[in-house]
Amino acid sequence: MDAKMKGVMRVVPYNPIWKQEFLKIKAMIVECIGDLIISVDHVGSTAIEGLAAKPIIDIDVVIDSYESFPAVKERLSRISLEHEGESGS
């Protein structure tokens, strides 16, 4: 179920599966664009053990230069990961 339901944001108790899911996604990202990036970081409330959160795993992909951004974005789209901008906008 989507975290957003008719304008209501759902917050749920901490789930240790969030860390495992992040690690799976990180491995996919590194395999796809590891040569273009500095790091892949789990950010946001799901990254904090024990904290209730929106059940959405937020990820930051750190690049050395904005010049590599178009290639990063294009490759990630090949594995169905889309850039959503700052704060998902």
pLDDT, average across residues 63-80:
96
For residue 23, give the H/E element and its range: helix 17-33
- Determine if the pTM surpasses 0.75: yes
Percent of the chain surpassing pLDDT 70? 89
Least confident span in 8-12, 38-42, 66-70: 8-12
Cα 31 from chain centroid (whole Å): 15
